[in-house]
Amino acid sequence: MQSSAEMITPVGSETLVKIRNLHYARGDRVIFDGVDLDIPRGKLTAIMGPSGTGKTTLLSLIGGQLAPDRGSIEVDGQQVQELGRTALYRLRRRMGMLFQSGALLTDLTVFDNVAFPLREHTDLPESMVRDLVLMKLQAVGLRGARDLQPSELSGGMARRVALARAIALDPMMIMYDEPFTGQDPISMGALVQLIRLLNDALGLTSIVVSHDVQETAAIADYIYVISGGKVIGQGTPDTLAKTDSARVQQFMQGLPDGPVPFHYPAPDYTEDLLDA
Amino acid sequence: MKQTKTMELMVGMLIAAGIAALFVLAMKVSNLGTFSAANSYTLTARFENIGGLKVRSPVTAGGVLVGRVSSIDYDNKRYEAVVAIGMDKAYDRFPDDTVASIYTAGLLGEQYIALDPGGSEEFLTDGSVIEFTAPALVLEKLIGKFLLNSAEKGSGP
Amino acid sequence: MALSRSITLRRIIRKTCWMLELIRGLGRSGFGFFETLGRFNLFLLKILVGIPAVLVRPRLLIAQLFSVGVLSLPIIVVSGVFVGMVLALQGYNTLVDFGAEESLGVVVALSIVRELGPVVTGLLFAGRAGSALTAEIGLMKATEQLAGMEMMAVDPIHRVIAPRFLAGFISMPLLAAMFSAVGIYGGYFVGVGLLGVDEGAYWSQMQSKVDLYNDVFNGVIKSVVFGFVATWIAVFEGYDTVPTSEGVGRSTTRSVVYAAFAVLGLDFVLTALMFGD
């Protein structure tokens, strides 16, 4: 077991997001049971874990869409759960979030989708909006698709447009919710590269939530593994691959049975069969 | 851009059509077009019994609508119903011996006031009182009278 | 032996438990009902707060007036014509027995202006525009568009819900007025054109019996109330939907059913208030 000092001070310099003793339950189901996380500025941090461990919920908590039951979430020195509406919205302008589905507005074209945050939050003249949108679309390689409707895009393209939209206001950080799920190898490769590239080129802080071990491990600077409402392992991809924790190993290598059992909890098999 | 223009045009037409429809309902369907309160003068008439007369019941002369009942009160000193009538300004030459009677339109229809002009040289003006009135005929009273009459005839010679 | 006894014991427990479950379920659904009711009303408050923001950006409102109002127009107008025609036909057959076919205009106009105009328009509006609103907003929620907006620091209630609500609120009285006007002309076409009622009698009887305030104005008030409530229900059901394709389908059905109940129930209440002396 690592010492607690090591637990909360990962590699890198300044921390952008600091989560302490996070408790969150939905109804009777406990999702987070004392989670401590640090997201360093300018790095690409991955949060991994099996499905249903509330990784997406964690992003909603950081974005202030949900409030924790207990504990604190600090983003850029501000306590998210204590912010008023105006302050929260001001903070959110500096955060980008990439949803699993892309969450493009279906009644707007690709161009208007990327222009949406600019038009909502700035009074820039239309010519400047156009330049900015085309720059962002160029960065994700979809400048030629500007007049398409979201329904005409493939899943990977939709995510890239959403990414262009997320960086439209030049945020300080971007949160990616399962960016690799359901992608063909080519668009997967494109996304993996794009996430790393944007992180380094724009000096962003990135949080990637994913359960795709290979792709995430390839680009992450630091990885947290969450399971059962707790952080069960953390480290750089290399150290995590060599960890001796059985649960982390099971997840990282994708073993069907192990500390996480194959069977859902059930009464005794023989008794269950006889009990008509 | 062209699409937006079409959309704006259609919405504009929707709103115009809606307001036009409201206008039709007000002018063509309702009584607003036929008679407006602003353009009227008031007469008063006292009746012993008004039957089923109501506020806004029609007031006619020779079958033509010339006004409407504007209010109904009861004078509990003289034990009479006091009916105020809003008359159309266009018909302001009723003699002061005009008779106001309450009739029923058809057998079961609603009741209205009919004005029968007399022969006086003086005309009714705003605020005048119609002196001569005939009360509403109440069906039960009529039947009662009729039965009484026939009973008297039967018990006679 | 021990095994079979433990099994019977479990069966007995299971049988007695269902009553407890029932009570618990009732309690839970009761709380659920009040919770939803509270959310429903708070939601309206949030919309109303967002309305000034819409008025500053009329472009959003115009787009919604188009999809809520203009697109509902065909069904409203066609239904209006047919309702008026049927009323004239039915009314004529009854009135002619009493020799009162001159009153056809009154019958048609009063039934449409007071009742059928606002109510049928309300029901059609809930079915055409309300269901579309619920499905659209529900789908936006299911595809994370609303959450995405929130994360872009844009309040979806201001940007998405309020323009739609306002558009429904404005459209409905206009549509109801058109339904009524068109219905009266439908009755005119059948009564005067086909059945030979005197044209002058049709209009003059109508004009002498239909009161601007008591009939026309009250009918308009009804349509305003129905439009308000039907749109409110539609946007709420969409916003409150369970974000799955099944959930959106269910919300859409619920939106139409609840709006229809609300329109009919409120019609009774409003009629009692307005026309009951």
pLDDT of residue B55: 76
Give the DSSP H or E segment for A276.
Answer: none
Return residues 185-224 of C near B (CB < 8 Å). 203-204, 206-212, 215-216, 219-220
Task: Count the neighbouring beta carbons within 10 Å of the beta carbon of residue A216.
Answer: 23
B25/C113 Cβ within 8 A: yes
User: Does any CB of chain B come closer than 8 Å to the CB of residue C110?
Assistant: no
What average pLDDT does the segment B95-106 reach? 84
The structural domains of chain B, with segments of one domain joined by +, span 1-30, 37-139
Q: Quick check: A12 pLDDT over 70? A: no
C65 to B14: CB separation less than 8 angstroms, yes or no: yes
Tokens encoding C105: 């205009």
Highest mean pLDDT (candidates A87-96, A219-228, B92-101, C170-179): C170-179
Integer Cα distance of A16 and A73 in angstroms? 11
pLDDT above 70: percentage of residues in chain A: 95
For testing the chain C interface, which of B29, B88, B107, B111 should be mutated: the one with the most C CBs within 10 Å?
A: B29
Residue B7 has pLDDT above 50, yes or no: yes
**pLDDT value of position C47:** 92
Per-residue pLDDT at B87: 87
The predicted structure's pLDDT at residue B38: 62
Assign A9 a pLDDT band (cuts: 50, 70, 90).
Answer: very low
Maximal C-alpha separation, chain B:
100
Q: How far is A235 from chain C (nearest CA, A)?
A: 29
Among A68-82, B67-81, B129-143, name the one with the lowest average pLDDT: B129-143
User: What pLDDT, in 10s, does the model give residues A13-32?
Assistant: 488 888 888 898 887 888 88
Q: Which of A28, A100, A106, A119 to mutate to test the interface with C (most CBs of C within 10 A)?
A: A106
Q: Please tell me what DSSP assigns to residue A244.
A: -
- The reply to whether C113 touches chain B by the CB within 8 Å rule is yes
Average pLDDT over residues B19-29: 85
Domain ranges of chain C: 57-272
Query: Is A43 within 8 Å of chain C by CB?
Result: no
- Are C159 and A104 within 8 A, CB to CB? no
Quick one: pLDDT at residue A11?
A: 43
Between CA C59 and CA C156 the distance in angstroms is 16
Average pLDDT over chain A, rounded to an integer: 84
What burial class does residue B20 get, using C-beta atoms within 10 Å of its C-beta: 0-12 exposed, 13-18 middle, 19+ buried?
middle
Q: Kindly list the residues from chain B whose CB atom is less than 8 angstroms away from the CB atom of residue C59.
A: 4
| pLDDT confidence tier of residue A5, bands split at 50, 70 and 90 | very low
| Residue numbers of C between 226 and 245 with CB closer than 8 Å to A | none
B21 contact residues in C (CB cutoff 8 A) = 174, 177-178, 180-182
**CA B36 to chain CA centroid, nearest Å:** 13
Q: Which residue of C has its CA nearest to A97?
A: C151
Q: Is C49 on the interface with A (CB under 8 A)?
A: no
* Residues in a beta bridge with A207: A45, A175
Look at the alpha carbons of C119, C120, C123, C129 in this order and tell me if their dihedral is positive or negative. negative
Say how far apart CA A222 and CA C210 lie, in whole Å.
78
A28 touches chain C (CB under 8 A): no
Average pLDDT over residues B55-84: 85
C-alpha A168/C-alpha A157 separation (Å) is 16
Q: How far is CA A151 from CA A101, C60, C128, in A?
A: 12, 21, 24
Q: Residue A194 pLDDT more than 90?
A: no
Identity of the residue in C73, C170, C208 whose CB atom sits nearest the CB atom of B31: C208
Query: pLDDT tens, A40-74?
Result: 888 899 998 887 778 888 888 898 888 888 888 98
Which residues have CB under 8 Å from C192's CB, separation 6+? C198, C199, C202
Residue A275 pLDDT > 60, yes or no? Answer: yes
Position A6 pLDDT exceeds 60: no
**pLDDT tens track for A140-187:** 888 888 899 988 888 888 888 998 998 888 888 999 988 888 788 888
**For C15, what's the count of Cα atoms within 13 Å in the CB-facing half-sphere?**
6
CB contacts, 8 Å: C62 with chain A: none
Cβ contact A104–C147 (<8 Å): no
Cα dihedral A3, A5, A6, A10, rounded to 10, equals 160
Q: How far is C129 from chain B (nearest CA, A)?
A: 15
Interface of B with C (CB under 8 A): 4, 7-8, 10-11, 13-15, 17-22, 24-26, 28-34, 56, 58, 65, 106
Average pLDDT estimate for A73-86 = 86
pLDDT digits (tens), chain C, 277 positions: 566 677 677 777 776 777 778 888 888 777 888 888 888 999 999 999 988 888 888 888 999 999 999 999 999 999 999 999 999 999 999 988 887 888 888 889 999 999 999 999 999 999 999 999 999 999 999 988 998 888 888 889 988 999 999 999 999 999 999 999 999 999 999 999 999 888 888 887 788 788 888 888 899 999 999 999 999 999 999 999 998 889 999 999 999 999 999 999 999 999 998 876 5
Q: Which amino acid is at A225?
A: V
Residues B111-125 have a mean pLDDT of 86
SS3 of chain C: CHHHHHHHHHHHHHHHHHHHHHHHHHHHHHHHHHHHHHHHHHHHHHHHHHHHHHHHCHHHHHHHHHHHCHHHHHHHHHHHHHHHHHHHHHHHHHHHHHCCHHHHHHHHHHHHHHHHHHHHHHHHHHHHHHHHHHHHHHHHHHCCHHHHHHHCCCCHHHHHHHHHHHHHHHHHHHHHHHHHHHHHHHHHHHHHHHCCCCHHHHHHHHHHHCCHHHHHHHHHHHHHHHHHHHHHHHHHHHHCCCCCHHHHHHHHHHHHHHHHHHHHHHHHHHHHHHHCC
CB atoms A120 and C159 under 8 Å: yes
